[in-house]
Structure 1
Amino acid sequence: MIIDCHGHYTTVPGAQQEFRDAQLAALADPALPAPSPATISDDAIRESVEGNQLRILRERGGDLMLFSPRASSMGHHVTDPATARAWAETSNDLVARVVGLFPQHFAAVCQLPQIPGGALDDAVAELRRCVDAGFVGCNLNPDPSGGFWTSPPLTDPYWYPLYEAMVELDVPAMVHVSGSCNPSFHALGAHYLNADTSAFMQFVEGELFTRFPALRVVIPHGGGAVPYHWGRYRGLAIRMGRPDPGTLLSNVFFDTCVYHQPGIDLLARVVPAENILFASEMLGAVRGADPETGVAWDDTKAYVDRLELTAEQRQKIFEGNARRVYPRLDAQLRAAGR
Structure 2
Amino acid sequence: MIIDAHAHLVAPAALYAHRSNLVVSGGQYGSSYRAQVSDRLLEESADQNVRIMDAVGTDLQLLSPRPFLTLNGTARWNDIVDWTSDTNDMIARTVRMHPNRFRGVGALPQQVDRPVTSLFEEIERVVDELGFVGVLLNPDPSEGMNGSPPLGDPYWYPLYEKLCELDLPAHIHSGQCCNGRETYDEHFIAEEGLAITSYTGPTCSTGSPTSS
**Which TM-score band applies after superposition, normalised by the shorter structure?**
over 0.9
Post-superposition offset of 1:211: 8.2
Structure with more of its chain in helix, by fraction:
1
In 2, are the aligned partners of 1:166 and 1:215 still within 8 Å (CA)? no
Kindly provide the amino acid, as one letter, of the partner of residue 170 in structure 2.
A
Post-superposition offset of 1:214: 5.0
Matching residue within 61, 67, 70 for 2:57: 61
1:183/1:101 CA distance change after superposition, 3 Å: same
How many Å separate the matches in 2 of 1:54 and 1:210? 35
Q: Does 1:15 align with 2:14?
A: yes
Q: Does 1:112 align with 2:111?
A: no
Per the alignment, residue 34 of structure 2 pairs with: 37
SS in 1 for 2:178: coil
How many Å separate the matches in 2 of 1:36 and 1:124? 23
Q: CA RMSD in A?
A: 1.7
Post-superposition offset of 1:186: 0.8
In 1, are the aligned partners of 2:8 and 2:64 still within 8 Å (CA)? yes
How many Å separate the matches in 2 of 1:64 and 1:96? 15
- 1:317-328 to structure 2, matched below 5 A, reads none
Matching residue within 151, 155, 159 for 1:154: 151
Kindly provide the amino acid, as one letter, of the partner of residue 211 in structure 2.
V
Matching residue within 132, 135, 149 for 1:135: 132
SS in 1 for 2:57: coil
How many Å separate the matches in 2 of 1:97 and 1:183? 35
SS in 1 for 2:25: helix
Matching residue within 111, 122, 125 for 2:118: 122
- 151-160 or 96-105, which moves further after superposition? 151-160
Gaps of 5+ in 1: 219-338
In 2, are the aligned partners of 1:6 and 1:65 still within 8 Å (CA)? yes
How many Å separate the matches in 2 of 1:198 and 1:209? 17
- 1:180-199 to structure 2, matched below 5 A, reads 180-188=177-185, 190-199=186-195
In 1, are the aligned partners of 2:203 and 2:210 still within 8 Å (CA)? no
Post-superposition offset of 1:75: 2.4
| Percent sequence identity over aligned pairs | 35
* Residues 122-153 of structure 1: per-residue CA shift (max 9 Å, x gap): 31110110011210001111111111231111
How many Å separate the matches in 2 of 1:149 and 1:125? 26
Q: Does 1:72 align with 2:68?
A: yes
How many Å separate the matches in 2 of 1:137 and 1:131? 8
Whichever of the two has the greater Rg, that structure is 1
